[in-house]
């Protein structure tokens, strides 16, 4: 089961198994706040951007900008700031294996612990013998800064990283600013920090809300990114402080043990809205999902931007006729080509604002992360690859409106490339793009739901090549069968643009991987990935 970055669906993969899923052409405006909070850290810098601002809000002129105008000014010097690797052409694809979903637990006193240490040690040694390059470890905000603001506890990760190092494996670290409790049906998991949850008990608008008022406490809403609601800190400052503490504590590991660091940008660590919520029965595959912007802070921002456009009525209305979580696009007016649809003036305005908030969220956090890593690497002469994850929303991909992608925050339609603006931001910060679905083929998805994981991967590879960014990836479902592993290998080593992915993360370690019939397929797969192409 795909727990992180996974959205359960009913696509049939191998017999008896299900797939699980994460999660003019560029933006006309960025919607990025100019007045970033200036803090006493001289090595951080803000990113210059194109649009003009007033009182911290973007003044856009979307209706007068050409449809293919770039989100950022990108001259030759800016086009790629990768400080890690200059080429994505590799003869081998390193394989990481993600740690078990229940690696961490909570003891009777409420403190986090590492579970089954002896079994974990044996498992790590087995992976090394199989030829696995490294493991992917989630570093949870809800564990490290669990009880009090700015009190970071790294002892569990000190112990875990030592075990991994002793096993001879490398590390992909995923800094997780989300919760995974919904995956455990209330019987476990890692929540957001307890002190954050206390604030949320009083002010539920720090979380995403849908049009019916249901909140999602897996990740803080983008509306609080620049609001000092957390003991005087903004959400972005909270993320920044954890990144700084992590960097300070594990600096000696950078470039030798730790090779990749992905930065959590949303639910399941992916840059997206929680438009397809798991665990509470609101959504099931292949529903289009719902827009997640009805907390008061997001609505205040929408109203302000609409007023700046001279259309205040656009900021005070619900999105008309956009269906519900489990709607199909046919019969839903917003996702068809009529009045008040996604092609209308209002539809374009709303979708640019909605996706623009997401892009600016990534820009703000990746700017902090890139500067932290760059400073450390310049001092230590070591390299760590910065990574950003996106969701693989491939159902209804063959429609004109791509509704499931729109609700998730990807303004990608048959008339507009919604992934190019994301790739542009990653390029500016030297980050690689981590994508799911590398195990999937169109032939294994239900034709009637107009799915195309292959089309999605092709589009993402194209924009990655255009923006000169590297690609890493993972599987979406648990695949141990020969056909599924072959599909992964082909997507990694022979993607549409002819360049191998930088690395692959197998999703994820559990008891199934060590079953004889699965292990006998997995070990040759790893060795084939490690062989010269």
- Taking 90 as the threshold, does the pLDDT of residue 375 lie above it? no
Helix axes 235-250, 345-380, angle to 10 degrees: 20
- Rounded CA gap, 110 and 368, in Å? 32
Strands 112-114 and 104-106: antiparallel
Which whole number is the average pLDDT over 283-288? Answer: 97
Strands 385-389 and 258-263: parallel
Provide the token pair at 392.
Answer: 């693989």
Residues with Cβ within 8 Å of residue 110, at least 6 apart in sequence? none
508 or 44: whose pLDDT is higher?
508
Cα distance between the two ends of the chain: 30
Residues with Cβ within 8 Å of residue 158, at least 6 apart in sequence? 249
Q: Does domain 95-287+363-530 have CATH number 3.20.20.70?
A: no
77 or 205: whose pLDDT is higher?
205
Cα distances (Å, whole numbers) of residue 232 to 205, 316, 321, 458: 17, 29, 39, 44
- Rounded CA gap, 171 and 93, in Å? 15
Which whole number is the average pLDDT over 450-463? Answer: 96
Q: What pLDDT score does 499 carry?
A: 77
Q: What pLDDT score does 258 carry?
A: 97
User: What dihedral do alpha carbons 44, 50, 54, 60 form, nearest 10°?
Assistant: -140
Model confidence at 282, pLDDT cuts 50, 70, 90, reads: very high
Cβ-based burial of 313 (10 A; exposed 0-12, middle 13-18, buried ≥19): exposed
Cα distances (Å, whole numbers) of residue 95 to 128, 401, 439, 531: 11, 35, 14, 11
Q: What pLDDT score does 498 carry?
A: 65
| β-bridge partners, 216 | 208
Q: What pLDDT score does 337 carry?
A: 83
- Rounded CA gap, 80 and 429, in Å? 8
**Would you kindly state where each structural domain of the chain is located, as residue ranges?**
95-287+363-530
Residues with Cβ within 8 Å of residue 184, at least 6 apart in sequence? none
- Taking 80 as the threshold, does the pLDDT of residue 335 lie above it? yes
Q: What pLDDT score does 95 carry?
A: 98
- Rounded CA gap, 285 and 7, in Å? 8
Residue 226 contacts residue 37 (beta carbons within 8 Å)? yes
- Rounded CA gap, 270 and 165, in Å? 27
| β-bridge partners, 103 | none
494 or 446: whose pLDDT is higher?
446
Model confidence at 380, pLDDT cuts 50, 70, 90, reads: low
- Taking 60 as the threshold, does the pLDDT of residue 233 lie above it? yes
Structure confidence by residue, pLDDT tens digits, 156-169: 999 999 999 999 99
Which whole number is the average pLDDT over 7-36? Answer: 37
HSE-CB of 389 using CA atoms within 13 angstroms: 33
Query: In which residue are the tokens 């995974």 written?
Result: 180
- Taking 50 as the threshold, does the pLDDT of residue 287 lie above it? yes
Residue 32 contacts residue 51 (beta carbons within 8 Å)? yes
The mean pLDDT value of the chain amounts to 84
Strands 95-98 and 215-220: unpaired
- Rounded CA gap, 487 and 475, in Å? 10
- Rounded CA gap, 527 and 530, in Å? 5
Reduce the DSSP state of residue 76 to 3 states and report it: coil
- Taking 70 as the threshold, does the pLDDT of residue 273 lie above it? yes
Q: What pLDDT score does 381 carry?
A: 59
Provide the token pair at 445.
Answer: 């998805």
Instruction: Return the closest-CA partner of residue 321 out of 341, 302, 306, 337.
Output: 341
Instruction: Return the closest-CA partner of residue 476 out of 17, 19, 12, 13.
Output: 19
Q: What pLDDT score does 68 carry?
A: 34
Cβ-based burial of 186 (10 A; exposed 0-12, middle 13-18, buried ≥19): exposed
Which whole number is the average pLDDT over 207-234? Answer: 96
Model confidence at 532, pLDDT cuts 50, 70, 90, reads: low
Structure confidence by residue, pLDDT tens digits, 122-141: 999 999 999 999 999 999 99
CA 426-208-324 angle, to 5 degrees, is 100
- Taking 60 as the threshold, does the pLDDT of residue 40 lie above it? no
- Rounded CA gap, 389 and 385, in Å? 13
**Percent with pLDDT over 90 in the chain:** 71
Structure confidence by residue, pLDDT tens digits, 293-333: 999 999 999 999 999 999 999 998 778 789 999 999 998 99
Reduce the DSSP state of residue 253 to 3 states and report it: helix
Instruction: Return the closest-CA partner of residue 243 out of 330, 370, 135.
Output: 370
Instruction: Return the closest-CA partner of residue 255 out of 171, 176, 166.
Output: 171
Which whole number is the average pLDDT over 384-389? Answer: 96
Which whole number is the average pLDDT over 475-487? Answer: 95
- Rounded CA gap, 32 and 29, in Å? 9
Reduce the DSSP state of residue 19 to 3 states and report it: strand
Q: What pLDDT score does 262 carry?
A: 98
Strands 57-59 and 112-114: unpaired
Q: What pLDDT score does 91 carry?
A: 67
Structure confidence by residue, pLDDT tens digits, 423-434: 999 999 999 999
Q: What pLDDT score does 340 carry?
A: 83
Q: What pLDDT score does 279 carry?
A: 77
Q: What pLDDT score does 183 carry?
A: 82
- Rounded CA gap, 471 and 464, in Å? 7
Alpha helices in 325-431 (DSSP H): 345-380, 403-408, 420-428
- Rounded CA gap, 268 and 266, in Å? 6
68 or 130: whose pLDDT is higher?
130
Q: What is the DSSP string of 360-373?
A: HHHHHHHHHHHHHH
């Amino acid at each position: 089961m795909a727990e992180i970055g996974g959205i359960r669906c009913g696509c049939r993969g191998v017999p008896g198994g299900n797939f699980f899923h994460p999660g003019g052409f560029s933006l006309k405006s960025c919607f990025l706040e100019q007045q970033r909070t200036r803090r006493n850290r001289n090595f951080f810098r803000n990113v210059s951007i194109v649009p003009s601002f007033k009182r911290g809000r973007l003044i856009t002129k979307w209706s007068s900008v050409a449809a293919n105008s770039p989100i950022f000014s990108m001259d030759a010097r800016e086009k790629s700031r990768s400080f890690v690797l200059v080429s994505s052409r590799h003869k081998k694809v390193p394989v990481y294996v993600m740690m078990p979903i229940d690696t961490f637990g909570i003891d009777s006193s409420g403190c986090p612990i590492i579970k089954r240490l002896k079994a974990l040690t044996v498992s790590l040694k087995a992976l090394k013998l199989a030829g696995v390059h490294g493991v992917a470890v989630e570093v949870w905000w809800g564990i490290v800064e669990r009880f009090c603001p700015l009190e970071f506890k790294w002892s569990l990760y000190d112990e875990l990283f030592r075990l991994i190092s002793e096993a001879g494996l490398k590390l992909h670290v995923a800094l997780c600013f989300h919760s995974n409790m919904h995956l455990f049906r209330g019987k476990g998991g890692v929540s957001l920090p307890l002190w954050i949850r206390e604030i949320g008990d009083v002010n539920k608008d720090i979380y995403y809300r849908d049009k019916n008022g249901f909140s999602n406490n897996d990740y803080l809403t983008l509306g609080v990114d620049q609001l000092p609601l957390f003991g005087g800190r903004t959400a972005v400052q909270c993320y920044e402080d954890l990144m700084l503490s992590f960097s300070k504590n594990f600096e000696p590991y950078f470039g030798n043990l730790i090779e990749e660091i992905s930065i959590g940008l949303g639910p399941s660590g992916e840059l997206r809205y929680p438009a397809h919520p798991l665990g509470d029965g609101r959504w099931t595959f292949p529903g289009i999902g719902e827009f997640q912007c009805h907390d008061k802070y997001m609505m205040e921002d929408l109203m302000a931007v609409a007023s700046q456009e001279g259309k205040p009525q656009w900021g005070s209305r619900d999105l008309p006729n956009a269906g519900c979580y489990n709607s199909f696009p046919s019969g839903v007016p917003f996702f068809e080509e009529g009045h008040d649809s996604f092609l209308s003036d209002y539809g374009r305005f709303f979708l640019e604002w909605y996706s623009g908030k997401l892009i600016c969220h990534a820009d703000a956090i990746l700017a902090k992360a890139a500067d932290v890593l760059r400073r450390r690497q310049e001092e230590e002469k070591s390299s760590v690859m910065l990574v950003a994850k996106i969701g693989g929303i491939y159902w209804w991909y063959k429609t004109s409106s791509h509704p499931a992608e729109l609700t998730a925050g990807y303004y990608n339609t048959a008339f507009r490339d919604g992934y190019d603006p994301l790739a542009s931001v990653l390029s500016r910060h030297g980050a690689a793009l981590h994508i799911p679905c590398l195990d999937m083929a169109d032939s294994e998805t239900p034709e009637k739901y107009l799915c195309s994981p292959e089309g999605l991967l092709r589009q993402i590879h194209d924009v990655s090549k255009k923006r000169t960014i590297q690609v890493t990836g993972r599987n979406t479902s648990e695949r141990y069968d020969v056909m599924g592993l072959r599909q992964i290998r082909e997507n990694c080593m022979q993607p549409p643009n002819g360049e191998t992915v930088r690395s692959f993360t197998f999703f994820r370690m559990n008891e199934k991987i060590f079953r004889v019939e699965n292990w006998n397929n997995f070990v040759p797969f790893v060795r084939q990935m490690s062989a010269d192409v």
